[in-house]
Structure 1
Amino acid sequence: MSRIVYVNGEYLPEDEAKVSVFDRGFLFADGVYEVTSVLDGKLIDFDGHAVRLERSLRELDMAAPCGKDELLAIHRELVARNEISDGLVYLQVTRGSDGDRDFVFPGADTQPTLVLFTQSKPGIRDSAASKNGIKVISIEDVRWGRRDIKTVQLLYPSMGKMMAKAAGCDDAWMVQDGAVTEGTSNNAYIVKGRKIITRELSNDILHGITRAAVLRFAAEAQMEVEERNFTIEEAQAADEAFVTSATTFVMPVVEIDGAQIGAGAPGELAKRLREIYIEESVKAGV
């Protein structure tokens, strides 16, 4: 059965969906996106994603295609039509196009392009990676300076994942001025002496929705959190390491640049945070 997607007000079979070749998302990566997880048919952290989307659009002076309530209705309709139990909903907004290619933004009356689709991910909460942990390499962070805006400019993160794959690993952590910024598609953490350490929010990293929830749950569980920079060397000497994202939740890291982290297996703190996050998020899902 063909997947049903949403394009500018229409629910369509995926092979009938079309966007203009002059769309600025295609020509200039002039767009933003969000990914909302689905567990037990419920949208996870939808409000957080909606707020961040609004911020990304505002930072780029881009018009919102519709309001939050309509976005929620579209998400729910796609989940229902595609019978998604566990998986995700991908949303992308671009500045659209008013005709030919031009570096100058189109007029204010140009309608943005809104596209959404689902991906079914059975077993996402009990993946092999979550049980075994992942291995990462470090790479230089050469992205643009506004990483806090969730744009579709994902070429370098994609290249980073390919570098990791070529090295026989799962992902990469990016490093700038000697300190870890974040993973290619996730926020990065280390644990030392039961203290969770992660980089503070700034323009240098994405303000992760899962990050916010996990740190809130950690505080509620009386876990100590310190927001500061850390180095690869410090991470290699840590007791545990992990990443968070909407699609991986809390994912243990067991190796960095060939150095084993802790016992070389998912740490107890990361495993507990993953359990708490999934349990509490499903309870609060919409």
Structure 2
Amino acid sequence: MSDVYLNGSFMPASEARISPMDRGFLFGDGIYEVIPSYQGKLVGFTPHIDRMQRGLAEIGIQFDWSHAQWLEMIRQLLDLNGNGDLGIYLHVSRGTDSKRGHAFPSGVTPTVFAFTFAINPPPTGLPGSAKSFQVASAQDLRWKRCHIKSTALLGNVLHHQQGVDAGYQETILFNDQDELTEGSSCNAFIVKDGVISTPPLDHQILPGITRLLLLHILRTHSTLTVQERVISKAEVLDADEVWLTSSSKELMPVVAIDGKPVGSGEVGPVWHQAQQLFAAHKFDDPHQ
């Protein structure tokens, strides 16, 4: 049985208790992060905690842990769970009130919860290392504040299940202007004629940490052309390569959309180059 962290204590998961009056349970009123760790080495720790702090501030949850306090707790949690290839789930809800009401209560203490879960070893980018994805497409029906990493994920869950029900691993989303936003649980990139493009950040898109790291790595350590721009559905369907990015899966090459092949229908050469660069530089975080 794995150990978890809850409100100042480490304990077996079977002993963790959260009140049903917690606003995270009643309203999805909270912020979360998932940080990957490979054999005790964290990927993107600083930008993950930066994003959590921004999200908490945006929804008005008062919780002022420093990066050092988060890192100390995470290190202890990883040690308790064996320091393998693990994802660390961090969750801060507004806390528990004595009644259910939509308005923010005063005088409640945030609930802080964290646990680890096994993740696959990362792909190296070498030939044969890729797990390719086939995805569905759909109109993006989620809320208009997707830049907040809220624990209220029903819209994302429904879109993800839409793809699963159709026999795919993910669903990529387009707004009502037929412009690419992201996947149900990941950011999206396309490659055309060697140029890498991804939608610009706005309220439609989560500012993904793997997206952030990948853009920095590509711009710093390669001569590849990288763009942040509006991308039409027609461009996605005509792309040479399509990738999805997330913290727990890194760079995922998409080989088919709605059953139709992307490019050649095989994992593309630019993905191999990008994944190798990401594998080489993803631990470049001076603050951990």
> What TM-score does the superposition give when structure 2 sets the normalisation length?
0.94
Partner of 1:142: 141
Helix, strand or coil: the match of 2:68? helix
Amino acid at match of 2:253: P
How far does the alpha carbon of each residue in 1:181-206 deviate from its partner, in whole angstroms, 9 at most, with x for none? 10011110100111111100111100
Distance in 1 of aligned mates of 2:99 and 2:64? 21
Query: SS of the counterpart of 2:282?
Result: helix
Q: Considering only aligned residues, what root-mean-square deviation do their CA atoms show, in Å?
A: 1.8
**Residue 91 of structure 1: aligned partner:** 90
Counting only pairs closer than 5 Å after superposition, residues 119-268 of structure 1 correspond to structure 2 as 119-125=117-123, 131-177=130-176, 178-220=178-220, 221-268=222-269
Task: Give deviations 1:226-250, integer Å, cap 9, x for gaps.
Answer: 2112223211211111011101111
CA distance in 2, matches of 1:40, 1:206: 27
**Contact 1:252/1:271 (CA < 8 Å) preserved in 2?**
no
Q: CA deviation at 1:7?
A: 0.4
Which amino acid counterpart does residue 191 of structure 2 have in structure 1?
Answer: V
Higher deviation after alignment, 234-243 or 160-169: 160-169
Question: Could you list the runs of 5+ residues in structure 2 that have no partner in the other structure?
Answer: none
Q: Report deviation, 1:147.
A: 0.5
Identity %: 35
Q: Distance in 2 between matches of 1:175 and 1:114?
A: 34
In 1, the alpha carbon distance for the partners of 2:259 and 2:12 equals 45
1:269-284 map, 5 Å: 269-282=270-283, 284=285
| CA displacement 1:46-93 (0-9 Å, x = unmatched) | 000010001001110111152221111111111111003212100000
Task: Say whether the 8 Å CA contact 1:65–1:93 is kept in structure 2.
Answer: no
- Residues in 2 aligned to 1:89 and 1:142: alpha-carbon distance in whole angstroms: 28
Deviations 1:125-177 (A, max 9, x none): 469x9624101111121111111110011112112222111211110011112
Contact 1:130-1:251 at 8 Å conserved across structures: no
Separation in structure 1 between the aligned mates of residue 53 and residue 64 of structure 2, nearest angstrom: 10
1: distance between equivalents of 2:168 and 2:194? 26
Task: Please state whether the residue corresponding to 1:26 is helix, strand or coil.
Answer: helix
Tell me the TM-score normalised to structure 1 length. 0.94
For 2:25 and 2:90, how far apart are their aligned partners in 1?
Answer: 15
SS of equivalent to 1:212: helix
Following the alignment from structure 2 to structure 1, what is the Cα–Cα distance between the partners of residues 242 and 129? 12
- Higher mean alpha-carbon deviation, 252-261 vs 7-16, is at 252-261
Render the CA deviation track for 1:105-137: whole Å, top value 9, x for unaligned: 110x3210000000122434469x962410111
Distance 1:59 1:254 in 2: 37
Count of aligned pairs between the two proteins: 284
Write the letter of the residue equivalent to 1:137: A
**Which stretch of the first structure deviates more once superposed, 88-97 or 61-70?**
61-70
